[in-house]
Amino acid sequence: MTAANLSNALPLMLGAALVAVFPFVGGKFYGDLMVTTMILGIFALSLELLVGRTGLVSFGHAAFFGIGAYATALLSPDAAPASLAWLLPAVLGITTLAALGVGALSLRTRGIYFIMVTLAFAQMAYFVFHDMKFAGGSDGRYLNVKPVLAIGGFTLIDLGRPLTFYYATFGALVLVYALLAAVGRARFGHALAGIKANEQRMRAAGFSTYPYKLAAFALAGALAGVAGFLYAVKDGFVNPEILAWHQSGTVLLMLILGGIGSLRGAVLGAFFFVVLKEVFQSEALFGAFARHWQLPLGLTIIACVALMPNGVTGLPAQLRAMRTPVPHAG
């Protein structure tokens, strides 16, 4: 590993180490918050593949998060734990199929139309779960017994145990991050970056761009499904609001906050979003005004976007650029 590589990977490894020891120092409340952050981190990472890597701004990504969560709740038996061995593959399969269907149609459009069509599909999914009896309607549905992985009566993983669930979520985040980093380095990821930069040029070179975009959309949907699965298991409860359009907007905000175009930006964006929300919701800090947490949160995000156009991850480069005088052109 070269020095440049090391200095690049060091913050990442430090961050991972901190998260790994956190349950022993952070306490239950903050441990819970950390799990939420990691789940949203996976969700943001999945959208980063579309928005940051491929240049596809989806405004309906919560659909796959929600479908994953609902599939987890609906497939789990009422009185016995589901086995991870089939539940997780089933959730992945369902969300992949859903994303293939939505992607196949919405990827025929571009730009603002793509944004609107993905939004429309997500709203359709929202109303399916909102209005259908089998899913519990607007009341949502409970997941009574959390899934386990057992071999011959011996339980290997019980997601009902908080510490196990913490590390399962952490492992999922690391795996998703590593997978997307590998995708970014591989030919597939380079082709996606080329499509973002100039799709017409890619077609002229001989790339059929539609299957590439569809594959990215399906993968992003499946990974959002993983986040949805974890969300359902964490709270033991799902309701239609997790598919609503503001959920799709929130995950886009996380990307913008963290800096579009980098994996760590997605995770950092999720982290800062959760922290900001938690701060503004705190009655200890804001008293009665904490009820109106959306207002300061919105203003803060507007300020962040205005002051840090490249997000939190772009801040160091931005500060460096401010310190060095602008060279004269020519």
Partner 1 sequence: MLDDVLLVASNVSRRFGGLTAVDRVSLTLVRGEVHAVIGTNGAGKSTLVNVLAGELAPSSGRVQLHGRDVTRWSQPRRARGGIGRSYQRTTIFPRSTVLENCRLAAQANHQHALNLAGAAVQCPQSTLLAQRAVEQAGLAGQVDRIAGTLSHGQKRQLEIAMCLATSPQVLLLDEPLAGMGAEETERMLGLLAALKPGHAILLVEHDMDAVFRIADRITVMVNGTVIATGEPADIRRNADVQTAYLGEIDIAAATAGR
**Burial readout 170-200 (b: 16 or more C-beta within 10 A, e: otherwise):** bebbeebbeebeebbeeebbebbbbbbeebe
The Cα 239–Cα 318 span in angstroms is: 41
Give the shortest CB-301-to-partner 1 separation in angstroms: 27
Give the shortest CB-191-to-partner 1 separation in angstroms: 7
Considering only residues 207-226, where is the footprint of partner 1 by CB under 8 A? Answer: 207-209, 211-212, 215
Using CB under 8 A as the binding rule, whether residue 205 contacts partner 1 is answered as yes
Nearer to partner 1, 110 or 190 (CB): 190
Using CB under 8 A as the binding rule, whether residue 324 contacts partner 1 is answered as no
Using CB under 8 A as the binding rule, whether residue 206 contacts partner 1 is answered as yes
Give the shortest CB-200-to-partner 1 separation in angstroms: 7
The piece of 19-27, 185-193, 297-305, 319-327 that touches partner 1 (CB under 8 A) is: 185-193
Question: Is residue 231 a contact partner of residue 247, using CB atoms and an 8 Å limit?
Answer: no
Using CB under 8 A as the binding rule, whether residue 183 contacts partner 1 is answered as yes
Nearer to partner 1, 153 or 206 (CB): 206
The Cα 272–Cα 293 span in angstroms is: 15
- Residue from 79, 204, 288, 329 touching partner 1 (CB under 8 A): that is 204
Using CB under 8 A as the binding rule, whether residue 177 contacts partner 1 is answered as no
- Residue from 137, 162, 194, 236 touching partner 1 (CB under 8 A): that is 194
Q: Identify the burial level of 39 via C-beta atoms within 10 angstroms of its C-beta, where 0-12 means exposed, 13-18 middle and 19 or more buried.
A: buried
Question: Is residue 229 a contact partner of residue 253, using CB atoms and an 8 Å limit?
Answer: no
Tokens of 153: 């009566």
Residue 292 one-letter amino acid? H
Give the shortest CB-109-to-partner 1 separation in angstroms: 18
Tokens of 55: 């240049």
Q: How many CB atoms lie within 10 A of CB 255?
A: 25
Question: Is residue 46 a contact partner of residue 209, using CB atoms and an 8 Å limit?
Answer: no
Give the shortest CB-207-to-partner 1 separation in angstroms: 5
Tokens of 239: 């309701």
How far, in whole angstroms, is CA 24 from its chain's centroid? 26
- Residue from 138, 198, 282, 294 touching partner 1 (CB under 8 A): that is 198
Question: Is residue 92 a contact partner of residue 227, using CB atoms and an 8 Å limit?
Answer: no
The piece of 8-16, 72-80, 100-108, 190-198 that touches partner 1 (CB under 8 A) is: 190-198
Considering only residues 250-309, where is the footprint of partner 1 by CB under 8 A? Answer: none
Using CB under 8 A as the binding rule, whether residue 110 contacts partner 1 is answered as no
Using CB under 8 A as the binding rule, whether residue 103 contacts partner 1 is answered as no
Nearer to partner 1, 185 or 291 (CB): 185
Strand partners, 112: none
The piece of 34-42, 196-204, 262-270, 294-302 that touches partner 1 (CB under 8 A) is: 196-204
Q: How many CB atoms lie within 10 A of CB 128?
A: 17
Instruction: Give contact residues for partner 1 (rule: CB under 8 A).
Output: 179, 182-183, 185-191, 194, 197-198, 200-209, 211-212, 215
